[in-house]
Amino acid sequence: MARVLIYSHDSFGLGHIRRCRTIAHALADAFPKLRVLIVSGSPIIGSFDFKTRVDFVRVPSIIKLRNGDYVPLDRHSSIQEMTELRASLIADTAIHFAPDLVIVDKEPLGLRGELEGTLDKLKARGARLVLGLRDVMDEPEALAKEWARKRAAPALEELYDDIWIYGLKEIYDPLQGIALSNRTRAKMRYAGYLRRTKPAALPVTFVNDLARRILITTGGGGDGEALIDWILSTYEAQHDTLPTAAIVLGPFMRAEARSTFEARAAALGLPCEIFEPRMEHLLADCRAVVSMGGYNTFCEILSFDKSALIVPRHTPRFEQSIRAEAAERLGLARTLPEPAFGTHGDIALMANALRGLPTQPPPSAHPIANILSGIDNIVAWSKPWLT
């Protein structure tokens, strides 16, 4: 059986593991004799369903704070001790699994360089090494400084065989501003966004009439408090004039904030839950979407053709803001700016946006060729190494 190893460092939110899981399932569906193993640092990876022949190994979690610092989830260990432990576990797992194809999500050398030794060994054994990048990484100046510190460019030059970008060049070049050789640039291929479908397993229903509701989602929720507060404040002020909604807070939101938001939502009669591992069902069935514009939610907005309002965050990266600006420019969604830190959003502004959302044109009103071709291209590009 051919084997694919997918590395997902997972230090903040749900984006990395959800993207890697989507790719793993697509490859398993396309190649009946394939085994896929995901190595992840997500503390909640076990909450997701995985298809036959797709499995995961969880390494100890390191989390990224909003100021950009990394700390172990186990506060009794130092960041250096935890990085060394993760590196050892990853190396042992990868060598024993002996993959034919390795897909690394976003971090060329892994979190704090933990993957470098493993990649050297796997390349020497003939594995094909692929770096997978989302459509937007960060603003160019910030990314250039970060990648210089992490020695990313030499890794792309010397280690990787391919660089797959899960987006379109017409929307954004995630490596603009990075000094890359022509040889490295030649490795870059734009796959398109990753189309999502409704999973066979049904979610636990927390709302029965989702088809008439706007879905409010913050992804992982660790940076979603400002949006939820703005939404709830708007409904508290103008509930009778707004379309009804349902809220998913996210599993990484602070417990204190979650409790407060749940009580406020209950007082308004708005269904609210913390976490749903099958978000595709909710995105497919809702009337429209309000989100922060993370990569996976954006893919679902495109896949299920939903009218969307995006309120992107600006820290610790400008990724969501850049994506949201491109989406609005191309007619794929409407955006509102995130309120300044410590301030409340303009209620009248949000109320007008919510009232207009159900009749806002969906993404299909402004079609873009091959925008959802990501899965098909990844399968085609993987085939030489898996058959």
Mean pLDDT estimate for the chain: 94
Place of tokens 């979407």: 289
Superfamily of domain 210-365: Glycogen Phosphorylase B; (3.40.50.2000)
| Per-domain boundaries in the chain | 2-195+372-386, 210-365
Q: What is the pLDDT of residue 204?
A: 67
The reply to whether 210-365 shares the fold of 2-195+372-386 is: yes
Quote the percentage of the chain above a pLDDT of 90: 86
In three-state secondary structure terms, 187 is coil
Q: What is the pLDDT of residue 12?
A: 79
Q: Which fold has domain 2-195+372-386?
A: Rossmann fold (3.40.50)
Among 312, 289, 311, which Cα is nearest to 363's?
289
Model confidence over 253-309: pLDDT tens digits? 999 999 999 999 999 999 999 998 989 999 999 999 999 999 999 999 999 999 999
Instruction: Report how far apart, in Å, the C-alpha atoms of 240 and of each of 50, 209, 236, 237, 269 are.
Output: 42, 18, 9, 9, 12
Burial 45-81 (b: 16+ CB within 10 A, else e): beebebbebbebbbbbbbbbeeeeeebbeeeebeeee
Backbone region of residue 71 per phi and psi (left: phi > 0; alpha: psi in -120 to 50; beta: other values): beta
Residue 68 has pLDDT above 70, yes or no: no
Model confidence over 133-181: pLDDT tens digits? 999 999 999 999 999 999 999 999 999 999 999 999 999 999 998 999 9
Q: Are 261 and 246 in contact (CB under 8 A)?
A: no
DSSP letter (8 states) at residue 59: P
Q: Using N-to-C axis directions, what is the helix angle for 374-386 and 15-30, rounded to 10°?
A: 60
Q: What is the pLDDT of residue 67?
A: 66
Six-digit token pair at 334? 């409407």
What does the alpha-carbon distance between residue 189 and residue 169 come to, in Å, rounded to a whole number? Answer: 9
Model confidence over 226-251: pLDDT tens digits? 999 999 999 999 999 999 999 999 99
Q: Is the pTM of this model over 0.85?
A: yes
Q: Are 355 and 243 in contact (CB under 8 A)?
A: yes
Mean pLDDT on 214-231: 95
Mean pLDDT on 44-48: 93
Model confidence over 321-362: pLDDT tens digits? 999 999 999 999 999 998 876 778 999 999 999 999 999 999
